[in-house]
């Protein structure tokens, strides 16, 4: 096995990233690494970190950027805030290209960065609140959502908390109860404690969370999430994202992703037809609808009023 094959095997488990030290340990010289970069076969992503076989990518993958940034700041670098949430697969934070790291000591001074997309923090994080995610150190899910609840707006904070609960990365019984202790005395703690009372792990997407919060603000909160509707024989007709059982009204959150493919769209239509034939009113909301504070609750109130007249 030649040196390039050895490097590829190392890179395969590291999002395609290798360090100069790893390349040299495999048998490549610094000059050979530079030649691979000039030829476009490798790409320098951060100081001392390279994307192997970069010519196979249209752009550097996001995880590779995060790993390269962390490697360049040394073994003490920790992914925090929205970057830690991203590594854990938590949804709800608005995506940006920024990479948030906590780095102790003088290396965190801006003059030493050289990474315009990296935001360096100096957070006090006990070792017990750190975990490894695919070889990268990050704040654990509980510490991550606690930190974000202090910095994010209400809709984003509740969304990421819902996501953590839904994915069972935190538990409502124990973990959420400990968040007030984690954030006590920190800036934003008063608002963050209020967000905790609005969390519901049944929400399966940030869009569902946002639609629910709009309904809460509009004084028409759903009485159930993930409502199962069955016929008289117990056959499952469908599951609604938000439900008002007394009025037989269901609201669906139509986000991008799985529902965009034709097979999912056809299944959604068949499910909706079954529910409508069973006497349910189906409302459908998009992300843009949640940006208007009054639209979703007004539409729900209209549907409830129509159901009462019937």
pLDDT of the residue at 1: 61
Confidence band for 183, pLDDT divided at 50, 70 and 90:
very high
pLDDT tens profile 143-155: 999 999 999 999 9
Maximum separation of any 2 CA atoms in the chain, in Å: 80
Residue 134: name the closest of 230, 80, 46, 66 by CA: 66
Residue 163: name the closest of 210, 116, 101, 220 by CA: 210
Angle 292-81-195 from CA coordinates, rounded to 5°: 50
* Cα 196 to Cα 298: distance, rounded to the nearest angstrom: 26
Residue 182: CB atoms within 10 Å: 18
Strand partners, 243: 224, 250
pLDDT tens profile 16-39: 999 999 889 988 989 999 999 999
With 60 as the cut, is the pLDDT of residue 259 above it? Answer: no
Q: Domains of the chain, with CATH numbers? A: 3-59 (no CATH), 73-196 (no CATH), 206-309 (3.40.960.10)
Question: What DSSP character marks residue 95?
Answer: P
* Cα 182 to Cα 180: distance, rounded to the nearest angstrom: 5
Q: Look at strands 118-121 and 99-102 and give their pairing.
A: parallel
Residue 225: name the closest of 246, 247, 208 by CA: 208
With 80 as the cut, is the pLDDT of residue 249 above it? Answer: yes
With 90 as the cut, is the pLDDT of residue 263 above it? Answer: no
Confidence band for 166, pLDDT divided at 50, 70 and 90:
very high
Phi, psi of 5 (to 5 degrees): -65, -40
Question: What DSSP character marks residue 201?
Answer: T
* Cα 125 to Cα 310: distance, rounded to the nearest angstrom: 58
Tokens 């001392």 appear where?
48
pLDDT tens profile 87-141: 999 999 999 999 999 998 765 554 344 566 899 999 999 999 999 999 999 999 9
pLDDT tens profile 189-245: 999 999 999 999 999 999 999 999 999 999 999 999 999 999 888 889 889 999 999
Mark 76-99 as b/e (b = at least 16 C-beta within 10 Å). Answer: ebbbbbbbbbbbbebbbbeeeeeb
Q: What is the mean pLDDT of the chain?
A: 90
pLDDT of the residue at 113: 43
- Its pTM stands at 0.87
What residues contact residue 278 under an 8 Å CB cut-off, 6+ apart? 229, 231, 237
């Amino acid at each position: 096995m030649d040196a390039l094959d050895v490097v590829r095997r190392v890179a395969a488990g590291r999002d395609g990233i290798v360090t100069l030290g790893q390349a040299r340990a495999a048998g490549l010289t610094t000059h050979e690494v530079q030649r691979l970069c000039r030829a476009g076969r490798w790409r320098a992503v951060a100081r001392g970190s390279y994307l192997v076989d970069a010519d196979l990518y249209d752009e550097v993958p996001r995880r590779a950027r995060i790993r390269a940034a962390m490697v360049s700041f040394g073994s003490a670098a920790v992914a925090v805030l929205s970057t830690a949430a991203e590594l854990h697969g938590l949804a709800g934070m608005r995506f940006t290209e920024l990479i948030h790291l906590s780095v102790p000591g003088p290396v965190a001074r801006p003059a030493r960065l050289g990474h315009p997309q990296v935001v360096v923090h100096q957070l006090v994080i006990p070792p017990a609140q750190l975990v490894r995610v695919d070889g990268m150190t990050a704040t654990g899910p509980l510490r991550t959502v606690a930190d974000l609840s202090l910095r994010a707006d209400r809709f984003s904070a509740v969304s990421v908390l819902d996501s953590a609960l839904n994915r069972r990365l935190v538990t409502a019984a124990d973990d959420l109860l400990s968040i007030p202790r984690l954030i006590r005395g920190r800036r934003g703690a008063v608002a963050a404690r209020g967000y905790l009372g609005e969390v519901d792990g049944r929400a399966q997407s940030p869009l569902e969370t946002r639609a629910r919060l709009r309904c809460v603000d509009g004084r028409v909160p759903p009485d159930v999430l993930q409502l199962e509707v069955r016929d008289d024989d117990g056959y499952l007709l469908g599951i609604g994202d938000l439900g008002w059982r007394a009025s037989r009204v269901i609201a669906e959150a139509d986000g991008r992703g799985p529902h965009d493919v034709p097979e999912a769209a056809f299944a959604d239509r068949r499910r909706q037809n079954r529910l409508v034939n069973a006497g349910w009113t189906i409302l459908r909301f998009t992300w843009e609808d949640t940006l208007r504070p009054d639209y979703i609750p007004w539409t729900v109130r209209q549907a409830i009023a129509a159901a009462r007249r019937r």
